[in-house]
Structure 1
Amino acid sequence: MSTPLGRTSLARNRIRDGLVATFHNDRAMATVADQVSVPDQISDWMGRLKLLYGVPINYLVPDEGMLPPESIRFFYVDMNWVDAMMDGAFSIGRNLTTDQAQPPVSVQLDRASAPRLTREANAKSASVRTNYLGVDGIDVSFQTVSGFILRSSLVPAYPGLGVNPWQEGHTPEDPEPKLLNILRMEQLGQQADTLVCLVEGDIFRVDIHEAPEALHFGIDTFDEKGATKKINQFTETDGQVTITQNLVTLDLTKEQCFRPDAPRTIKMQTLANLIAASQSPPIPSVDSAVMGFEMTEGVGMVSFNLKS
């Protein structure tokens, strides 16, 4: 049984009128758009873009003189600029017309889908680093994003540099230290001398240090005559160890403390005897715990305080 042509046209007109009414009603569009999920490929790409992935370095540092070798520059991210960049990236499917009386459907769709897209892009941005490190995710508001760009020969020479960003009132010297969340931290290329770091919140202090696994035995100075090492003096009474404030410098001469056939290798027994004899009073011998206490060197660290 065939349907009359006029009735079919009327049904199509009603559907068209309903779509037009929906697409030109912000509230109705928001309801519809909120029910449609953003494809993962789009939200992943937009999330990375929000962290400035894919943005050429000359957009971030327009002039090389602004970031000379062996320098660090701190900054705030202008989220209005980022939002404009995101809008520009999302505008590829926008169809504009010259009719100012009635906004184009694509513009209405953009406005309606923007809140959901922003939420999903924020979630993807927050998960980029946590997924890479295999740690729990974090909630990011993107109200304030600060960071720094470091240009130094240390970047390629010391892979795995660590960064501890602190907010004001929550530094290690305060009663309740609290680290800010790092959103992005990476070297811009395998052999590049530039590292970028983005942090959620307002950076007050930044500690940059060697990789934590760099703990090792170490000496203070070394030349053709030998080496020196400052050690702590301690006393032990009834199993209780007391560390004094006295530092003693051991003179590790090349002839006495280093192997003749390997002048950079210390004779560990000779070193242990010197450590034992330098205590006050001297002790008969040292064990591995004492050697670890006296000889372990922590990682090198430098701190930047941005406000006083």
Structure 2
Amino acid sequence: MSLSETLGVAQARAALEHELFLASPDGETVATDSVLEFLARLRMLEGVPFNTLVPDADFLPVESIRFFYLDRAWTDALVQGALSVGTANSLERAQLEKLYPKIEEEIDEAERRVRSPGSEPTLTGTAGVVTGFLMRSAAVAGWPGMHIRAYDTEPADHDEEVLPESNSDRIKLLRLERLAPSVILALFDGIPNVLHIEEPRQGLQFGVRLEEQSSGRWRAFVPARDVRTAGYVDDAGAPVVPDEDDPTAPSTLAAQIPVRFRRGAAGVLDLSNTARAFADADGTGMTAPIPGEDFGEDIDGAEFAMQMLRFPYRQVFAQSTTTPQFQDAAFVPNVAVVADFENILRQRLEED
């Protein structure tokens, strides 16, 4: 039998087996669950060497984030290469070629089951565009449990709202993994318009805000609150009422109360002077004893804690018209970034 005849028989057999499989009522998959899980993880870049993802350290410098689209043609070729290991002759290769569209559908389903967030429903259907980012930062090492959420539309009700992944405005997270102590990889099932990267929330948190001065030194402060209402107040002591047309957070409109630190002890608060600054601010509802006069009351711990409350820091990347204050065009191709990559490649070629 000639080679062409052999291939013809192999293709006919593969086509027959494929039709029998599709007609089977038992609903079994072509590939086993373990194989599907392996291929789904492979398509989400698990097991792919890091130097293949980032061929040069200058592509991902320290304290940087790089957004990208996942090339489906590249990942499909990766999966096909893995499957080809199990074929030993032309008959098996022809059978694999015939069954691959069905296997690809099964992998589409399996990749969405790799990361199942609690009881959230699993998406079905053909997999769409996959996007993601790589971030290299001390923040990854400092806050290993940081929250990463992607949205099609910014949550509109209030700043603290967190939509479940089943919400139509939420973009599902396919993979989130630390590849190194300071490097994290995230993959999304779609193209986010808004991305939140936020410090983990761990009960009550306290902190100050830092602002660099023209002299190069840093100034620490907290936004003023009225301890009787917990609301922010401005420089005149009046409650801050944000304009519906102005997306600026109320805390940025509040008066700034300076926070004092002890001399010669970096990072250690000077509680007495800081408490007096709280009491001196208008509208806080706090008073402090005046030396030599019988006036004012000691500031208690609850009042001090109220002023020091700080919500977890949130970095927003957006390319949505609903978030005009945040416009980073994260997933929009950038000519400048491409030019930087080309320059790095050119330098490496010249070095070689």
| TM superposition score normalised by structure 2 | 0.61
Measure, in 1, the Cα distance between the counterparts of 2:231 and 2:269. 30
The structure-2 alpha-carbon separation of the partners of 1:279 and 1:41, relative to structure 1 and needing over 3 Å to count, comes to: same
Q: Secondary structure at the match of 1:128?
A: coil
Give the one of 133, 150, 163 matched to 2:148. Answer: 163
Q: Does the CA contact (< 8 Å) of 1:33 and 1:112 recur in 2?
A: no
Give the one of 278, 281, 284 matched to 2:281. Answer: 278
Of the structure 1 ranges 111-120 and 295-304, higher mean CA displacement relative to structure 2 is found in 111-120
1:197 correspondence with 2:186: yes
Query: Where does residue 226 of structure 2 map in the other structure?
Result: 234
Q: Does the CA contact (< 8 Å) of 2:275 and 2:304 recur in 1?
A: yes
Query: Where does residue 45 of structure 1 map in the other structure?
Result: 38
Query: Where does residue 120 of structure 2 map in the other structure?
Result: 136
Q: Secondary structure at the match of 2:47?
A: coil
Q: Deviations over 1:224-267 (max 9, x none)?
A: xxx9543425396xx99785235152454749xxxxx9x93665
Q: Deviations over 1:137-186 (max 9, x none)?
A: 4215421100111122322232112212233xx12469999221110111
Amino acid in the other structure paired with 1:109: Q
Query: Where does residue 172 of structure 2 map in the other structure?
Result: 181
Q: Does the CA contact (< 8 Å) of 2:133 and 2:187 recur in 1?
A: yes
Measure, in 1, the Cα distance between the counterparts of 2:24 and 2:274. 73
Amino acid in the other structure paired with 2:34: Q
Measure, in 1, the Cα distance between the counterparts of 2:230 and 2:208. 27
Q: Does the CA contact (< 8 Å) of 1:234 and 1:242 recur in 2?
A: yes
Measure, in 2, the Cα distance between the counterparts of 1:161 and 1:44. 26
Measure, in 2, the Cα distance between the counterparts of 1:180 and 1:231. 33
Give the one of 232, 235, 247 matched to 2:255. Answer: 247
Query: Where does residue 117 of structure 1 map in the other structure?
Result: 103
Of the structure 1 ranges 196-205 and 158-167, higher mean CA displacement relative to structure 2 is found in 158-167
The structure-2 alpha-carbon separation of the partners of 1:253 and 1:203, relative to structure 1 and needing over 3 Å to count, comes to: closer
1:140-155 aligned at under 5 Å gives the runs 141-155=126-140
> What runs of 5+ residues in structure 2 fail to find an aligned partner?
1-8, 159-166, 212-218, 234-238, 241-253, 288-296, 319-327, 333-352
**Identity value in percent:** 23
Deviation at 1:54, TM superposition (A): 0.5
Deviation at 1:77, TM superposition (A): 0.7
Q: Does the CA contact (< 8 Å) of 2:227 and 2:307 recur in 1?
A: no
Measure, in 2, the Cα distance between the counterparts of 1:91 and 1:77. 22
> What runs of 5+ residues in structure 1 fail to find an aligned partner?
1-17, 98-103, 256-260
| TM superposition score normalised by structure 1 | 0.69
1:69-84 aligned at under 5 Å gives the runs 69-84=62-77
Give the one of 264, 268, 279 matched to 1:264. Answer: 268
Number of aligned residues? 266
Looking at secondary structure, tell me which structure has more helix per residue.
1
Deviation at 1:127, TM superposition (A): 2.0
Deviation at 1:107, TM superposition (A): 3.4
Amino acid in the other structure paired with 2:59: M
Amino acid in the other structure paired with 1:142: A
1:210 correspondence with 2:199: yes
Q: Secondary structure at the match of 2:114?
A: helix
